[in-house]
Amino acid sequence: PAVVLVPGSAPVDRDATVFGVPIFGQLARGLADAGFLVVRYDKRGVGQSGGRAESATLADYGNDLREVVQYLDDRDDVDRDRIVVVGHSEGGWVSLLAAAREDKIAAVALLATPGIGGADLILEQQQGELTRLAVTESERQQKSALQRRIHAAVTGNGSWDNVPDALQRQADTPSFRSFLEFEPADAIRRVRQPMLVVQGELDQQVPAYHAERL
């Protein structure tokens, strides 16, 4: 049986290192010790992978994952009926997109995967960060309004007026647009494979209620 570990957002390599801890490296080792063949890979534009992250959409990452699954399906040492994808955070969204189009994927596991749309998730995470920073209510409202203007401009529902040039350059990309427009509820309806949802109670980036939403 084979497992593909699907990385989340940000330019992470196959180890998915966070604060010096190679999360995917540890997961892969544990799964391999349990008898699974495990695949990890560098995201586009990271490590030994080519491409550019800012131009890659969630659909592109889903196609990348399908290529990895096809690679496993072609191997003689893989049980083709037991190829599972395990996505972390945004990687869970990528896993859903791939599973909806790829019957070679036998099952899906979602780790800390957001259960709300991309635009709402960004605003939720922004509010959480502003709460931790204890900013004033006035500043909170200003930052929230700016973020909403950015979202509208990126998705073609508003203009870039009153948005700093540096923020426009950072946000006006195919990658960010696909993230903002993604709705996990729409994607998950198209998945027919068995699914496991795992969420940590102390997660501050993707709160525990997201698992219930999924």
pLDDT in tens, 162-203: 899 999 999 999 999 999 999 999 999 999 999 999 999 999
pLDDT of residue 64: 95
pTM, entire model: 0.93
| Arithmetic mean of pLDDT, 31-57 | 88
Can you tell me the distance from the alpha carbon of 52 to that of 61, in angstroms, rounded to the nearest whole number?
12
Q: What pLDDT digit, counting tens, does each position of 94-105 carry? A: 999 999 999 999
Amino acid in position 32: A
Please provide the DSSP assignment of 31-89 as one string.
Answer: HHHTT-EEE--PPTTSTT--S-GGG--HHHHHHHHHHHHHHHHT-TTS-TT-EEEEEET
214: pLDDT strictly greater than 80: yes
Q: What pLDDT digit, counting tens, does each position of 82-132 carry? A: 999 999 999 999 999 999 999 999 999 999 999 999 999 999 999 989 888
Q: Are 197 and 113 in contact (CB under 8 A)?
A: yes
pLDDT of residue 147: 95
The H or E element containing residue 2 is: strand 2-6
52: pLDDT strictly greater than 80: no
Can you tell me the distance from the alpha carbon of 70 to that of 65, in angstroms, rounded to the nearest whole number?
9
Residues 6+ apart with CB under 8 A from 109: 84, 85, 86, 87, 95, 195, 196, 197, 198
What secondary structure letter does DSSP report for 192?
A: -
